[in-house]
A = this chain, B = another copy of it.
Amino acid sequence: MHETLKELKGRLLEIYDLSMAAAVLRWDQATYMPPGGAGARGRQMATLSRIAHERLTEPGMGRLLDRLEPWTAGLPHDSDEACLVRVTRRAYDRAIKVPSAFVSELDEHASLSYQTWTTARPRNDFASVRPLLEKTLEMSRRLADFFPGYESIADPLIDYSDYGMKASSVRAVFAELRARLVPLVRAITERPAPDDRCLRQSAPEADQLAFGLEVLRKFGFHFERGRQDLTHHPFMTKFSLGDVRITTRVRKQDLTDALFSTLHEAGHAMYEQGIRRDHEGTPLADGASAGVHESQSRLWENLVGRSRGFWEFFYPKLQAAFPAQLRPVPLDTFYRAINRVERSLIRTDADEVTYNLHVMMRFDLELDLLEGRLAVRDLPEAWRARFESDLGIPVPDDRDGVLQDVHWFSGPIGGAFQGYTLGNILSAQFFAAAIAAHPGIGAEIARGEFDTLHGWLREHVYQHGARFTAAELVERATGSPMTIEPYIAYLWGKYQPLYGLAGEQPGALAGRRAG
């Protein structure tokens, strides 16, 4: 078996290198590429993806897995070899069902669609992307149909990013969460909103970036194995376990936007940096799911980065960095400002309480489109109606309505959004488990120390990479399946005193340990 395993790893390494090369090209496109490079770049990335897909679906790969599986069946579920063969089998079985020609067609269509969207959105021009979006929907359905036997046509698409979840299971979690969230949003927004003018001030880009990097150093982000660059839409990317990068942007008239974006992406990056180094070059060198990945960005951005304790330590430093802007502003005012909850138009700018309402409506609209209840031509209107009903504010135009997110214009419809809310839920569940194991974490954060928290996450989440499914990982790390209780408890525990809400937390009382 040793030789067979070695051959499998050799093939996987080549596929990994091709994917990582494509990631470098994508990063460069978003950071430094001059405009003249755009045409060839899309083609080059598509070429690399196609070759990687061809290599993954070679019959020899299936034969290797067939030979290895009887052997790994006798090994412990969490042995390196069993994990590797299991995760490779999943990727292989998925890949062989989709013809190479379809992969290329989808890539090319996504690229054209994205290019069109970048100019259509500022022009508030849904009409010009509509035919492309119709083709995207048709292709998304065809993609799902390569995986017959589903319950909902969205299931195979959800499975891509959150393996093990289905439309019905996501819907159940979302319904439960929604029932607890809507009263909380209502209670909060009935109270006067905190004054957040202190945040709407400008500061030199270099100083803002330097402050963010200083926080990352404290977090334990490894700069010898990563870096940060500027881009329009912040993201995290990885070229190897030794090179995990993030990007950010600085907004004029916003003192903390770049900072929170940095903390968010750093959460993703620390996850990747923490994966066991000997998984390099294999499909195990990846996150467990979109939801688990997002849980780490939200944990560091929100549960740590928007906590009172965090700012007890960092606020004096922020004041020292921006004295003209913040010297007159007390910590309490600043803390309330960065946790201001309000119904707003843009998902990516939403506070952590209303954020999930944005996600849920997108998830439902995806299902309506895929399951044939909604036509693309009626989408802008459906968006408006649903938004006004859920968020209670009017949608002034498509630019800040249906055109606001890149997802449907750069990939399939379906499976793109649920991970954000699953991530919020899991962020609180992991954080609560870490605190249950190490009750001193809160006090450490207030001293600017993050080693215990980071160490717990590395041990229970990061190091495992993609060895376990999200469900397995959550159970192993927290001792229970995914549950919304720690998240509700976290939100209530934070916003009840912040907004002086009356009474007890809405719904069940379990899981206050995260409070």
Decide yes or no whether A320 CB sits under 8 A from chain B.
Answer: no
Contact with B along A10-51 (1 / 0, CB 8 A): 000110011011101100100011111111110110011001
Give the docked Cα–Cα distance between A25 and B24 (Å).
7
> Which one, B37, B41, B242, B281, contacts A225 given CB within 8 A?
B37
Give the docked Cα–Cα distance between A28 and B24 (Å).
8
CB nearest neighbor in B for A14:
B47
Decide yes or no whether A224 CB sits under 8 A from chain B.
Answer: yes
Chain B proximity of A465: nearest CB distance (Å): 15
Decide yes or no whether A240 CB sits under 8 A from chain B.
Answer: yes
Main secondary structure of the interface of A (DSSP, over half): helix
Give the docked Cα–Cα distance between A13 and B44 (Å).
9
Decide yes or no whether A135 CB sits under 8 A from chain B.
Answer: no
Give the docked Cα–Cα distance between A22 and B51 (Å).
14
A41: B residues at CB distance < 8 A: 239-240, 243
Chain B proximity of A277: nearest CB distance (Å): 10
Decide yes or no whether A226 CB sits under 8 A from chain B.
Answer: yes
Give the docked Cα–Cα distance between A239 and B28 (Å).
11
Give the docked Cα–Cα distance between A51 and B48 (Å).
11
A36 lies within 8 A of B280 (CB): no
Decide yes or no whether A312 CB sits under 8 A from chain B.
Answer: no
Report how many residues on chain A are interfacial, defined by Cβ distance under 8 Å. Answer: 40
B223 lies within 8 A of A40 (CB): no
A47: B residues at CB distance < 8 A: 13-14, 17-18, 21
Decide yes or no whether A229 CB sits under 8 A from chain B.
Answer: yes
A40 lies within 8 A of B239 (CB): yes
Decide yes or no whether A222 CB sits under 8 A from chain B.
Answer: yes
A280: B residues at CB distance < 8 A: 40
Decide yes or no whether A276 CB sits under 8 A from chain B.
Answer: no
A34 lies within 8 A of B240 (CB): no
Chain B proximity of A450: nearest CB distance (Å): 20
A44: B residues at CB distance < 8 A: 17, 20-21, 239-240
A242 lies within 8 A of B17 (CB): no
B24 lies within 8 A of A226 (CB): no
CB nearest neighbor in B for A20:
B44
B48 lies within 8 A of A243 (CB): no
A130: B residues at CB distance < 8 A: none
B229 lies within 8 A of A36 (CB): no
Given A25-B21, A25-B24, A40:B227 Cβ within 8 A: no
Given A47-B14, A47-B18, A48-B21, A32:B227 Cβ within 8 A: yes
Contact with B along A381-397 (1 / 0, CB 8 A): 00000000000000000
Give the docked Cα–Cα distance between A245 and B38 (Å).
14
Q: A34-B245, A40-B239, A44-B239 are in contact. List 20 more A-B contacts (CB 8 A).
A: A14-B51, A17-B44, A17-B47, A18-B47, A18-B48, A20-B40, A20-B44, A21-B22, A21-B24, A33-B243, A34-B224, A34-B243, A37-B242, A39-B240, A40-B241, A40-B242, A40-B281, A41-B243, A44-B240, A51-B51
12 contacts between A and B (CB under 8 A): A17-B44, A21-B22, A21-B25, A32-B227, A32-B229, A34-B224, A34-B242, A36-B225, A36-B240, A36-B243, A40-B280, A44-B240
Q: Which 10 A-B pairs have the closest CB atoms?
A: A37-B243, A40-B240, A36-B225, A36-B242, A17-B47, A17-B44, A36-B224, A21-B21, A35-B224, A34-B227
